[in-house]
Structure 1
Amino acid sequence: MTTWTLSGFADEIDAEPDIQFSVLAALGARHIELRSAWSTNVAEFTEEQLDGVARSLSRRGMQVSAIGSPVGKVEVSAPVDHEVARLKRVIAVAHRVQARYIRVFSFWPAGHANGSHSLAAGALPDDTAASMRDAVLARMRALADVAEREDVVLLHENEKDIYGDTPERVLDLIESVGSDRLRVAWDSANFVQCGVEPFTRAYPLLKSHLEYLQVKDARFSDGEVTPAGEGDGQLLETMTALRDDGYSGFASLEPHLALSAENGGFSGPYEFGRAARAFRRLLEQIGVDAA
């Protein structure tokens, strides 16, 4: 039987690491996606906080599937040195907890910080994306250079409101940067919120670059996030194709069932468990185990 490695954005459970790890372990996971602890993002961890997380991981026998960094979730007009420095801080965390993958984004358009964020906002207008393309590619190349030197892999998430929101622009980004240290983190819900059918339109374009599966679903009608299989994200079709194409990597739960915001989400232990059970039902349908 094919086995995928179960993980999850642990800060959606609780701000306290020991509670995060306990709930994930109870759900059958031995990995976490580390984004924040004690309400502090990984990019801002002190040495004391990092030591505390590392001790908690060791005590519970947990490992880190990826670092959920905020790198690239700034306006494209921001100096590239700022994001390079932030990536280096995140890489120090990754090395400390022995994580190979770091999630990144491909920049907001100018003026985004003064705008409003909507779950069903749709993709960036083509002219907006075209106007920022060169600056985005230069910045992503600079980040990839750091990843190559530091022996980590950057996972680009197809987030709303960034350059790489649609499958066509994600493909352009990955192929134009041309680094084996820049790969795709797949998020079906984010595609739905950009008006994209994930399996029908995105999977054929991106499957050869797909390195990491983030698990959440959403509805086209209002953009609301749902447990896997309860929205329009074509999770069953995508997961079946991944199985058939030999995928054997991480499946990271990011439920967003209590709160979905621009810089993350929250579910709490109960809703996180509901999302995990929904995902396991889909896995059972396709004959894939998760451990």
Structure 2
Amino acid sequence: MVRISAFADEISKDPVEQLDVLESHGIRHIEFRSIHGINVLDLSDAQHEEFRALLRSRGFGLSAIGSPIGKIKITDPFDSHLQRFDLAMDLAEFYDAPRIRIFSFYMPPGENPAIHRDETMTRMTELARRAAARGITLLLENEKGIFGDTAPRVLDILETVNAPSLSHAFDPANYVEVGQPIDEAWVSLRSRVTHFHVKDYDSKTHKNVPAGEGEGQIPRLIADAVANSYDGFCVLEPHLVIAELSFGFTGPERFGDAARALKGALDGNGIAYA
């Protein structure tokens, strides 16, 4: 079963407007990255209490904590980052959403990522170990500039760590942006994909576009995933107006374009969704 979710901070900083727009498109889940322009890991306890109450009153849930864990340099200290990770796990439990989106650390520009493979694997193994102890699933997203930017390196992480608590959040646009052939990525990683980020990319214009308008082959990949018993979220992360390292923005109107494109792709393939 496909369930649609979204990075609602791409709509607005205001959590009420986020929910209003999502509700207008029949979407009832959020990948929680920020509200009020503040990252999920930096909000106060009171803000979290208020947001959880708002979600419950409006009938919304979270698909995952859209954390920035792993978005530091591989040469940065890890101990303090583990404290941030512990907070992310606390929040996953607080919101009853035992899934956390993570990354695999930025590589020094110009250096061969192989130099930092061992340290990357050590860190990823520790994250997976801690998550397993608390019944939390980590969703490893591929992204430009980090160790896991290409499919072979994402697969290397997943096979080396080899833990049920670590799986893949497949981001087609991020693969296209680094020149990773989508077919190769999908074939090698399909069995490990438990989360799908709906973001497409046009390499000619170097811009993110609605699903199906770029080279990410999103309609075909989702159809193939469902044909192979995919049961998870398709998370709208359109980046149609702004696409930066730690933030993307689409706005209420363009978000509508993104939502309609995804639903059109699902409807066109006869895929049921909620």
Q: Deviations over 1:49-107 (max 9, x none)?
A: 11111011011010001010000000001122122111111111111111111000000
TM-score normalised by the chain length of structure 1: 0.92
Please state if 1:159 is matched with 2:157: no
Partner SS, residue 23 of structure 2: helix
Q: Deviations over 1:189-217 (max 9, x none)?
A: 0000011222x111110011100011010
Measure the CA separation in 1 of the matches of 2:138 and 2:102.
Answer: 6
Q: 1:194 aligns with which of 151, 164, 178?
A: 178
1:188 Cα deviation after fit? 0.5
Aligned to 1:74: 72
Aligned to 2:118: 134
Q: Deviations over 1:131-169 (max 9, x none)?
A: 111111011111111101121111000011100010000
Measure the CA separation in 2 of the matches of 1:187 and 1:142.
Answer: 24
Please state if 1:185 is matched with 2:183: no
Q: Give the conservation status (yes or no) of the 8 Å contact 1:6–1:29.
A: yes
1:243 Cα deviation after fit? 1.6
Q: Deviations over 1:14-64 (max 9, x none)?
A: 111111111111111111110001111011121011111101101101000
Partner SS, residue 163 of structure 2: coil
Q: 2:95 aligns with which of 90, 94, 97?
A: 97
Q: What fraction of aligned residue pairs are identical, expressed as a percent?
A: 39
Please state if 1:265 is matched with 2:248: yes
Q: Give the conservation status (yes or no) of the 8 Å contact 2:31–2:66.
A: yes
How many pairs are equivalent? 274
Q: 1:239 aligns with which of 207, 214, 222?
A: 222
Listed as ranges, the gaps of 5+ residues in structure 1 are 113-124
Aligned to 2:85: 87
Listed as ranges, the gaps of 5+ residues in structure 2 are none
Measure the CA separation in 1 of the matches of 2:206 and 2:85.
Answer: 30
Measure the CA separation in 2 of the matches of 1:83 and 1:209.
Answer: 26
Aligned to 2:198: 215
User: Quick one: which amino acid aligns to residue 255 of structure 1?
Assistant: P
Aligned to 2:29: 31
1:224 Cα deviation after fit? 1.0
